[in-house]
Structure 1
Amino acid sequence: MSSFDLDGRGVQRFNPIVRFDLAFSLFFLEHRYANQVSLLSRAISHSGDGHLYVAIALIVYMADPVLGGMFLSCGLVAFIFELPIYWLAKNSFRRRRPHNLSSRINNFIEPSDKYSMPSGHTAAATIMATLIYAFFPSLAVIAITWAALIALSRILLGVHFFSDIVAGVLLGLASAVAAMMIVGG
């Protein structure tokens, strides 16, 4: 994909998904409250950096070693699937981040790598939400809402497109389901 500015030049040459992704990002990032929204988005996004996943798994394990052990095992297996697939996809697609495709898109954080497809934060949050849904159904609404907010925060921070988020959800869901099938959760 070549670099371009979303000012009308050459946009029609790109497929509808790219046009939608750019329009979606601009809709959520081109408003006067973008800087304020980015502050909340950073906090939400940071909750998906991984430290909270470890804390959740340890708390669950300490509360109920049998159920917590299954939860922890499923989580580890899911991440064993997700991480190499995520890395291969990022380095195969090599899709540049939104701020690299349009000068009208600001990024409010500096991402850890230069490629955007799929969203690793979204994949990891989806794994956790899926496992929480499966093991603790009464917490499903909270877990799914939290994962959705992490995904949205990545768009609001200007580091992912909508389709990156969809790919992250699919990767996370597939990894969690495969892990539960293997571990027996």
Structure 2
Amino acid sequence: MLVSKNNVNQIDVAVFKFLFVSRLSFRLKDVSRFVSKTGDGQLYIAVGLLLYLFEPINGRAFFFHALALFSVYLPIYLLLKQLFKRQRPCHSIVDMSSHITASDKFSMPSGHTSAATLMACLIEAYYPQWGALCFTWAGLIGISRVSLGVHYPTDILAGAGLSLLIAYIGLI
């Protein structure tokens, strides 16, 4: 059975609507906002600087490795946003508005999810005991972006996939 682009899009929209419209999504709106906010970027800078300054074994290596990988990731992410130019759900689904205002107008790939996934990969590489927690956090950021109405599920998958690829290449 062949899966067409149209079928994938229909499934994507259906899953989005299920997650966004569910009562659970509405009840968890404030939690989703908080979780999403942790992926804005300031936390990555704080963690990197704290490790650089106070963790003598791997802190400096982690900081410079993160700087290098995020320097590679960011232009690729921005290029993909411009190539896909996928409208956010809140702009493309009639009678639908998001719970937050997105920082830009395109949704694929999810920047919050991809940055959180890249950070989780870095932490897993340097501090494996924290890896499961960080990947859980990255996943929650992705879910929060859908439940807030600014991303489709495939935007989340694309963001995570982008960072997993960059981490795989950059951490070997």
TM-score over 0.5 for the pair = yes
1:180 paired residue number:
171
Runs of 5+ unmatched residues, structure 2: none
Separation (CA, whole Å) in 1 of partners of 2:125 and 2:22: 38
Runs of 5+ unmatched residues, structure 1: 1-12
1:8 paired residue number:
none
1:8-39 CA-partner distances (Å, limit 9, x unpaired): xxxxx961111111001110111334333211
- Given the alignment, which residue of 66, 72, 79 partners 1:81? 72
TM-score (norm 1): 0.85
1:145 paired residue number:
136
- Secondary structure at the residue paired with 1:52? helix
Larger radius of gyration: 1
- Secondary structure at the residue paired with 1:15? helix
Query: What is the total number of aligned residue pairs between the two structures?
Result: 169
What is the correspondence of 1:78-117 to structure 2 with a 5 Å cutoff? Answer: 78-117=69-108
Q: Determine what percentage of the aligned residue pairs are the same residue.
A: 41
TM-score (norm 2): 0.92
1:99–1:107 CA contact under 8 A, matched in 2: yes
1:20 paired residue number:
11
2:91–2:97 CA contact under 8 A, matched in 1: no
Separation (CA, whole Å) in 2 of partners of 1:147 and 1:176: 14
- Secondary structure at the residue paired with 2:23? coil
1:136-180 CA-partner distances (Å, limit 9, x unpaired): 111111111111101111101110111101110011112223332
What is the correspondence of 1:123-142 to structure 2 with a 5 Å cutoff? Answer: 123-142=114-133
- Given the alignment, which residue of 146, 149, 156 partners 1:165? 156
What is the correspondence of 1:49-88 to structure 2 with a 5 Å cutoff? Answer: 49-88=40-79
Letter in 1 for 2:45: V
Deviation of 1:104 (Å): 4.7
- Secondary structure at the residue paired with 1:116? coil
Deviation of 1:102 (Å): 1.2
